[in-house]
Chain A
Amino acid sequence: MINVWRSLRFTLVFAVLLGIVYPLFFVALGRVVFPWQAQGSLVAVNGRTVGSELIAQPFPQPMWFEPRPSAVNYNADGSGGSNLGPTNPALVQEVRQNLHAVLRQNLGLQVDEVPTSMVESSGSGLDPDIDLQDAYDQIPRISKATGLSEAWLRSLVQRDAEFPVLGLYGEPMVNVIQLNLAIWEKLHPSARVARTT
């Protein structure tokens, strides 16, 4: 019986300490020290929040850099992958569809120029990054749709490119939201793009 009584008291004390005090302390700390990260790395155009730098969003028009395929249709309230196994015929079907879409949208692109990450769904369905090759593959299409020069777009990708940490961890890649915000800024010179909390 003494154990039950102690367990109840322990649960109460530690539920408050670990479940309330510990997270709330960091909520408050985050607000002061890292307000942008704490709120989810949000970005705004002319004061209106347009998304998070960390979360992929749909870019269906040809003028945008397209993120990786998403098994949850970029639902940031219900993340997930396809969970298709390597021998599942549905996987071949899905990747075939994605591949055909990519080749149709980017005329002149050859299969051997397509990185697998460009046509295989991400783990979260919200992967904000694409392989550098993926970005370069999309430049001719975006140039045609926006009128921006291929050289400018290529310099944009180079500017935002991220390389492996310590040369070891990660892939050469680029953030899709960053790229598309830069395109938006270029097309709307008066637009004000800023981080927001």
Chain B
Amino acid sequence: MTASGIFAIFLVVLALVACGWPLGGYIYRTFAGERTWTDAVAVPVERAIYRLIGVNPDVEMDWKAYLRAMMVSNLVMALFAYAVFRLQAVLPLNPAHIPAMPPYLAFNTAASFITNTNWQNYAGEQSLSYLSQMIGITFLQFTSAATGLAAAMAFLRGLSRQKTDALGNFWVDLVRVHTRLLLPVAAILAFLLLALGVPETLSGPAVVHTLSGSMQTIARGPVATLEAIKQLGTNGGGFFNANSAHPFEDPNAWTCILEIMGMGLTPTALVFTAGYFLRSRRLAIVLCTLLGAILLAGAYLVYTYEAAGNPILAHALGLHGPNMEGKEVRFGLPLTSLFVAATTAYTTGAVNAMHDSLMPMSGMVPLLFMMFNLIFGGKGVGLLNILMFLIIAVFISGLMVGRTPEIFGKKIEAREMKLATAAMLVHPFVILVPTAIAMALPSARASMGNPGLHGFTEVLYAFTSAAANNGSAFAGLNGNTPFYNISIGLVMLFGRYVSIIAMLAIAGSLAGKARIPETSGTLKVDTFAFGYVFVAVFVIVGALTFFPYLALGPIGEQLQLG
């Protein structure tokens, strides 16, 4: 651990905030219906798309209509992707002659990508044709990110409007996320990645005669375009099995910085978007400072433990130096550590080092971030989780000082609290219960790739990753079994949709309420004092819920190191 390494990590996070702020304003203007500089190009394109899909953009929806459109569209897209995976053997663009995906795995994969999780029980280069990578994976990486962002915009409208049931039009939001944000930024990112060495080709694998006389089959494909949206959409599902550790996905330090920026950009920006919607720049600054500090703390923790290396190897073999098992040389430790923390803070799930081979305490950082699920969080849903915990924190503070809890002029009543509690509880429920079931089943235990406490952490990590819609893995676990394909698939679906449904219902009920004017007795949400309460609430909830499992996993393993 060096001073320059600490500075290197800080600089990237600072750059993220510096880019996120203006982008957050732009996202606000786009979804609040104000004019933006992209109108000239985007408006005619959008008009054509609305005609093609049969949408009247002037109609606004109440929360139920918004939710229905979202659920049906997601179901149709998931079924479409499932069909593509099942039929890839007979469809075009399959130069490597990859067979059809088996049903359980195809279910898991479709559920994984429609929920923005990108958990991968398959190895990309061996299990997916180019067509599947393009109209299955790349397509869902866009639309699932857009769905999350649309839900967040609907919620912010509900919070900022009054005495109305209108939350916007789901189809308009879905289309505009693509035309105004995802496609243009993904195109820029894809171009830069391509220039820096990420391949983009349909030529099929390259078979080469190596210098030492053997043969090597080099898998490649349309990687740059997938990589761009994989990062930007906080998706994380890689083209190759090794994900961003693969030199074709992430060839050098520059691309690594770009990929970290790609995944952090929108979730950071959305905090500022919320600030604009709620007319509170201070809220954005408070949240950004506190969450940014937690992200940095996580990255530094990983950096510390990885730089110190593995004491078992030092003791047994006299080998001293950083833990390089499962890491690539070209990124260097600071960037690798930041990537580990950022990919779970932003619930992306891309990995540029194998998390299974991290030291126990550094492996706990991604686990914790996924358990919190709101250190900025994933595309749109991260902001929803932040707002959910803000509501809970407001309620608890209100109880403590004996006032009716309110948030941005909206009273929080029994209905909102019940829904927020449901959204909060589903997360630990779908992590802890399946983990316990898996540990009770001998066949599920047999999938563990490492013995002892580390093996337990692999299973815990899998369900945490699925519930948080993250997708990163302690990849030693063999998840491609009927049990894990189905259970992880279901956890991803529950983890995603239960909280979105609850939050949209809250948005609907908040939109209908009149705004109460602020008085001297109003609890101010956008202050650092309340920010600390907010952090304390989610940390305490997280600690109480998950601590026993963490003690059995990474903490126990750390103690074994001696």
A124 CB–B CB distance under 8 Å: yes
Q: Using an 8 Å CB-CB cutoff, how does the interface string of A34-53 with B read, 1 for contact, 0 for none?
A: 10011111100100111110
Contact assessment for B330 and A173 in the assembled complex, using a CB-CB cutoff below 8 Å: yes
Q: What range describes how many residues of B lie at the interface? A: 35 or more
Q: Report how far A111 CA is from B206 CA in the complex, Å.
A: 38
B218 CB–A CB distance under 8 Å: yes
Contact assessment for A171 and B330 in the assembled complex, using a CB-CB cutoff below 8 Å: yes
Q: Using an 8 Å CB-CB cutoff, how does the interface string of A73-110 with B read, 1 for contact, 0 for none?
A: 01111111111111111011001100100000000000
Q: Distance in Å from the Cβ of A10 to the closest Cβ of chain B? A: 5
Q: Distance in Å from the Cβ of B235 to the closest Cβ of chain A? A: 13
Contacts of B186 in A (CB 8 A): 22
Known: A51-B211, A77-B217, A169-B335. A95 touches B319 (CB 8 A): yes
Contact assessment for B326 and A111 in the assembled complex, using a CB-CB cutoff below 8 Å: no
Known: A85-B450, A114-B319, A184-B211. A15 touches B76 (CB 8 A): no
Contacts of B242 in A (CB 8 A): 79-81, 123-126
B111 CB–A CB distance under 8 Å: no
Q: Report how far A127 CA is from B247 CA in the complex, Å.
A: 7
A117 CB–B CB distance under 8 Å: yes
Give the contacts of B207-236 with A (CB-CB under 8 A): 208-212, 214, 216-220, 222, 224-226, 229
Contact assessment for A55 and B247 in the assembled complex, using a CB-CB cutoff below 8 Å: yes
Closest-by-CB residue of B relative to A45 is: B211
Interface-centre pick from A15, A39, A180 (highest chain B CB count, 10 A) = A15
Contact assessment for B206 and A40 in the assembled complex, using a CB-CB cutoff below 8 Å: yes
Q: Report how far A166 CA is from B200 CA in the complex, Å.
A: 27
Q: Report how far A49 CA is from B253 CA in the complex, Å.
A: 26
Contact assessment for B222 and A26 in the assembled complex, using a CB-CB cutoff below 8 Å: yes
The tally of residues in A whose CB lies under 8 Å from a CB in B reads: 98
B356 CB–A CB distance under 8 Å: yes
B495 CB–A CB distance under 8 Å: no
Give the contacts of B40-87 with A (CB-CB under 8 A): 49, 52-55, 68-69, 72-73, 75-77, 80
Known: A7-B77, A48-B209, A131-B329. A79 touches B241 (CB 8 A): yes
Q: Distance in Å from the Cβ of B48 to the closest Cβ of chain A? A: 10
Q: Using an 8 Å CB-CB cutoff, how does the interface string of B161-196 with A read, 1 for contact, 0 for none?
A: 000000000010010001000010011001100111
A121 CB–B CB distance under 8 Å: yes
Q: Report how far A82 CA is from B325 CA in the complex, Å.
A: 8
B404 CB–A CB distance under 8 Å: no
Q: Using an 8 Å CB-CB cutoff, how does the interface string of B302-342 with A read, 1 for contact, 0 for none?
A: 00000001101100111111111111111111110000000
The prevalent SS among residues of A at the interface is mixed
Q: Distance in Å from the Cβ of A7 to the closest Cβ of chain B? A: 4
Q: Report how far A42 CA is from B209 CA in the complex, Å.
A: 12
Q: Using an 8 Å CB-CB cutoff, how does the interface string of A144-182 with B read, 1 for contact, 0 for none?
A: 000000000000000000001101111101000100110
Contact assessment for A38 and B211 in the assembled complex, using a CB-CB cutoff below 8 Å: no
Q: Which of B3-11, B369-377, B383-391 is the contact stretch?
A: B3-11
Q: Which residue of A19, A42, A114 is within 8 Å of B139 (Cβ)?
A: A19
B494 CB–A CB distance under 8 Å: no
Contact assessment for A123 and B211 in the assembled complex, using a CB-CB cutoff below 8 Å: no
Contact assessment for B139 and A87 in the assembled complex, using a CB-CB cutoff below 8 Å: no
Q: Which residue of B224, B257, B309 is within 8 Å of A169 (Cβ)?
A: B257
Q: Which of B357-365, B427-435, B436-444, B510-518 is the contact stretch?
A: B357-365
Contacts of A116 in B (CB 8 A): 309, 313, 319-324
B560 CB–A CB distance under 8 Å: yes
Q: Report how far A74 CA is from B218 CA in the complex, Å.
A: 10
Contact assessment for B54 and A39 in the assembled complex, using a CB-CB cutoff below 8 Å: no
Known: A55-B248, A84-B450. A20 touches B135 (CB 8 A): yes
Q: Report how far A117 CA is from B327 CA in the complex, Å.
A: 8
Give the contacts of A54-82 with B (CB-CB under 8 A): 54-55, 57-61, 64, 68, 74-82
Contact assessment for B326 and A82 in the assembled complex, using a CB-CB cutoff below 8 Å: yes
Q: Which residue of A38, A114, A125 is within 8 Å of B200 (Cβ)?
A: A38
Give the contacts of B238-285 with A (CB-CB under 8 A): 240-242, 245-248, 251-254, 256-257
Known: A54-B247, A86-B325, A169-B334. 7 other contacts (CB 8 A): A5-B54, A18-B135, A52-B206, A81-B357, A84-B325, A116-B322, A171-B329
28 A-B residue contacts at CB 8 Å? A3-B72, A6-B54, A13-B49, A14-B139, A22-B186, A30-B194, A30-B224, A33-B194, A37-B195, A40-B248, A41-B197, A50-B211, A54-B248, A58-B216, A77-B125, A77-B205, A78-B219, A83-B475, A86-B454, A87-B561, A115-B324, A117-B321, A117-B327, A123-B351, A130-B329, A168-B11, A169-B253, A169-B332
Please list the residues of chain B having a beta carbon within 8 angstroms of any beta carbon in chain A: 4-5, 7-8, 11, 49, 52-55, 68-69, 72-73, 75-77, 80, 123, 125-126, 134-136, 138-139, 142-143, 171, 174, 178, 183, 186-187, 190-191, 194-203, 205-206, 208-212, 214, 216-220, 222, 224-226, 229, 240-242, 245-248, 251-254, 256-257, 309-310, 312-313, 316-335, 351-354, 356-360, 449-455, 457, 474-476, 557, 560-561
Please list the residues of chain A having a beta carbon within 8 angstroms of any beta carbon in chain B: 3-11, 13-16, 18-20, 22-23, 26-27, 29-31, 33-34, 37-42, 45, 48-52, 54-55, 57-61, 64, 68, 74-89, 91-92, 95-96, 99, 111-112, 114-117, 119-131, 164-165, 167-171, 173, 177, 180-181, 184
